[in-house]
Amino acid sequence: MRSIFVSLILIFSFKLTAGERKLTAAEEKKVHAILAELIDSTHSSLRKPRLKIKLHTIDNPAYFFESNFGVGRALLGMKRYKIGVNPLVFDKNIPDDALKGVLAHELIHTEDYASGNTFNTLIPIGIAVLKSKTKIQYERKTDLKVILKGLEKELIAYKNWQYPLLNPNDLRTKKKEYLTPEEIRLIVELRDTHPEVLKEWLNYKIPLDIDGVELALISKKRLFANHLFDMKLTKEFSQKKRGQKFILELKSLKQKFIGCTLKAIPYSKKGHNFDEARIFKLNEIDTKKSVRAWMSFKGKMKGVDFILKSCEGQNSLFIKGFPNL
CATH number of the domain to which 240 belongs: 2.60.40
Domain shared by 25 and 146, yes or no: yes
Please tell me whether the overall predicted TM-score, pTM, comes out greater than 0.85 for this model: no
Return all residues near 262 (Cβ < 8 A) that are at least 6 apart. Answer: 250, 279, 280, 281, 282, 306, 307, 308, 319
Q: How many CB atoms lie within 10 A of CB 230?
A: 12
- Return the exposure string of 62-74: e unless at least 16 CB atoms fall within 10 Å of the residue's CB, then b: ebbbbbbbeeebb
Domain shared by 164 and 204, yes or no: no
- For the chain, count helices (H), then strands (E): 12, 12
**Averaged pLDDT, 148-155:** 98
User: Is 260 a residue whose pLDDT tops 50?
Assistant: yes
**Averaged pLDDT, 108-115:** 84
Sheet with 291-297: list strands edge to edge.
230-239, 243-251, 291-297
Domain shared by 71 and 163, yes or no: yes
Domain shared by 214 and 247, yes or no: no
Domain shared by 161 and 208, yes or no: no
Which residue(s) pair with 16 in the sheet? none
The residue that leads in pLDDT, 211 or 285, is: 211
Domain shared by 187 and 148, yes or no: no
Domain shared by 169 and 271, yes or no: no
User: Is 180 a residue whose pLDDT tops 90?
Assistant: yes
Domain shared by 7 and 27, yes or no: yes
Do residues 12 and 99 touch, judged by C-beta distance below 8 A? no
Instruction: Look up residue 32 and give its amino acid.
Output: H
Convert the pLDDT of each residue in 162-174 to its tens digit: 999 999 999 999 9
Distance of alpha carbon 71 from alpha carbon 115, whole angstroms: 17
How confident is the model at residue 195, as a pLDDT?
Answer: 93
Last residue of a domain, one of 109, 144, 173: 173
User: Is 228 a residue whose pLDDT tops 50?
Assistant: yes
Domain shared by 7 and 77, yes or no: yes
Q: What is the 3-state secondary structure (H, E, C) of 214-275?
A: HHHHHHHCCCECHHHCEEEEEEEEEECCCEEEEEEEEECCCHHHCCCEEEEEEEECCEECHH
Domain shared by 49 and 90, yes or no: yes
The residue that leads in pLDDT, 163 or 282, is: 163
**Averaged pLDDT, 179-197:** 94
Do residues 141 and 153 touch, judged by C-beta distance below 8 A? no
How confident is the model at residue 86, as a pLDDT?
Answer: 94
pLDDT band for 325, please (50, 70, 90 cuts). Answer: low
Q: Which of 132, 129, 121, 116 is nearest to 3 (CA)?
A: 129
Give the number of domains in the chain: 3
pLDDT band for 242, please (50, 70, 90 cuts). Answer: low
Domain shared by 127 and 275, yes or no: no
pLDDT band for 176, please (50, 70, 90 cuts). Answer: very high
Last residue of a domain, one of 173, 204, 235: 173
Last residue of a domain, one of 173, 208, 235: 173
How confident is the model at residue 287, as a pLDDT?
Answer: 47
**Averaged pLDDT, 249-262:** 70
Q: Among the listed ranges 147-156, 168-177, 270-279, 309-318, which one has the minimum average pLDDT value?
A: 309-318
Domain shared by 282 and 199, yes or no: no
Q: Which of 220, 223, 144, 141 is nearest to 188 (CA)?
A: 144
Q: How many CB atoms lie within 10 A of CB 257?
A: 19
Q: Which domain holds residue 195?
A: 180-221
Q: Among the listed ranges 189-193, 284-288, 314-318, which one has the minimum average pLDDT value?
A: 284-288
